[in-house]
Amino acid sequence: MLDRFGLSPVLLKKVIQSAMSRGGDFADVFCEYSQFSSLALEEGILKSAVTNLEKGVGIRVVKGEKTGYAYTERFNEAQFLRAAKTAAAIADDRGSDKSFEMEQVQVANHYPVQHPAANAALDEKIKWVYLADKLARDASSEVVRVSVTLADSLRNLVMADSEGRLVEDTQPMLRFGVSVIAERNGQRQEGRSGDGGRIGLSFLSEEKVQDMVARAVHEALTLLDARPAPAGMLPVILAPGDSGILLHEAIGHPLEADFNRKKTSAYSERMGEMVASAQCTICDDGTVDHDRGAINVDDELNRSERTVLIEEGRLVSYMYDELSARYFKRASTGNGRRESYRYQPIPRMRTTYMLPGTFSPDELIASTEKGIYCKTFKGGQVDISNGNFIFVPSEAYLIEDGKLSYPIKNLSLIGNGPDVLSKVSMVADDFRLSAGIWTCGKGQSVPVGVGLPTVKISEMTVGGQSE
């Protein structure tokens, strides 16, 4: 892959030495050559078909609390060295006399794909979006609008650093999405579904597309039957899989080490303390094969791993990149990620989930006289400094007398991350990863995964319309 960038181990070493020419604690080089494509079908018409190519090299120098960063989109030695000199300007010492030799590091491959979607012909992709459109329209006469998207990418990376490490990685990605709007008596409701991950086009099949369409249509039709949600303090049961997005937002972000380094997180200076119910063990994992959040190596050359964040209720680790790990005198957990060569790496999640418990899902519902069952979510906001959040379920049901009753709408869940974790009273044994659809924003976008078993929270504030 080095040839694609016009690089060699000798040139990489020269670039890093130039970056360290005025001193610095460490330096790294991030080279990216990525292909992106997307299709969007609306009203039975292919509205857009876009293909894009991005390539560039980012060079970073770190000296204490200061970071110098520069990137170039020109692939030649002179431009590499110019970017290295620019990044080096952050330091002001006589230069580094550290000796190193470049050595390629082999890492486990968590997403082997023989035929990436990025290399497939356009016709091979288009047929799937048209199929989804037809299946959705045939599913119900109440479906009045259908949108289908297919996006894929192939990210080729070469990374090297002043420790002499050299790593190559090829990251495939595919995401398929279906949105339908159903109408009845002048009322319209939307249903969404999707799937994907670090997979090839062979992931798609008529059965797989049918399943995604059925879920989207079911959600839209269910919402047409939904009644106003009750309001007040109620037990809440989170369904497995997609509900993990609440965990990602309300718990995951506050456990990213940069927020804790700045002491702006609700979990700052709480290492070793009980921060959740003893039933909660929460992990961030980059090694889930073919998952959207999987990475073989992070964007700072650190091997991916499974990091336990909260163990039986006790806070045992943050998610560290290189800078925060050095500050806390810990090893990086492999969470240094970036959107592209234009950005510096920062602590980011990979696939974040709660481990399963011992109860059956039916036991959680049966134990609830009146409460809310949340199946999917469509949005939310979190204040990382105090852990307060609000989330909006898209498909939810009222629980009455230990059974699922009728679907409800126009509700929100309002709470505080640490408080909600302390109120986890039952965790089921039905752990499930969410479909591979999530992208996380934190000044820059990266793909992530989430997962959850069925979880019961003894009480939460539910915003609704009826008492």
Q: Looking at per-residue confidence, does 385 or 294 come out higher?
A: 294
CB atoms within 10 A of CB 286: 26
Q: Tell me the two tokens of residue 152.
A: 């894929």
Name 62's bridge partners: 26, 67
Exposure class string for 306-341: b at 16+ Cβ within 10 A, else e: ebbbbbebbbebbbbbbbbbbeeeeebbbbbbbbbb
Average pLDDT over residues 290-306: 98
Q: Which residues contact 156 (CB under 8 A, 6 or more apart)?
A: 1, 4, 32, 33, 34, 169, 170, 171
Residue 105 has pLDDT above 80, yes or no: yes
Query: Which segment of 1-10, 178-187, 322-331 scores lowest on mean pLDDT?
Result: 1-10
What's the Rg (C-alpha) of the chain? Answer: 24
Residue 151 has pLDDT above 90, yes or no: yes
Where does 117-155+170-226 sit in CATH, by number? 3.30.2290.10
Residue 195 has pLDDT above 60, yes or no: yes
Which alpha helices (H) appear in 120-274, and where do they start and end?
122-139, 206-224, 244-247, 257-261
Give pLDDT, residue 269.
96
Give pLDDT, residue 121.
94
Mean per-residue pLDDT of the chain: 95
Residues across the chain = 467
Cα distance between residue 310 and residue 282, in whole Å: 5
Residue 377 has pLDDT above 60, yes or no: yes
Give pLDDT, residue 96.
64
Q: State the residue for tokens 């909006």.
A: 392
Helix (H, G, I), strand (E, B) or coil at 209: helix
Average pLDDT over residues 97-114: 91
Q: How far is CA 415 from the centre of its chain?
A: 22
Give pLDDT, residue 97.
64
Q: State the residue for tokens 């459109």.
A: 133
Packing angle of the helix pair 122-139, 206-224 (nearest 10 deg): 40
Cα distance between residue 428 and residue 152, in whole Å: 34
Domain spans of the chain, in order of start? 2-39+51-104, 117-155+170-226, 232-463
Average pLDDT over residues 119-123: 94
Average pLDDT over residues 440-462: 97
In tens, the pLDDT along 17-75 reads: 999 998 889 999 999 999 999 999 999 999 999 999 999 999 999 998 899 999 999 99
Average pLDDT over residues 445-449: 98
To 5 degrees, how large is the angle CA 451–CA 245–CA 337? Answer: 85
| Domain 2-39+51-104 fold | Double Stranded RNA Binding Domain (3.30.160)
Asked if residue 465 lies in contact with residue 229, where contact means CB atoms within 8 angstroms, the answer is yes
In tens, the pLDDT along 316-375 reads: 999 999 999 999 999 999 999 999 999 999 999 999 999 999 999 999 999 999 999 999
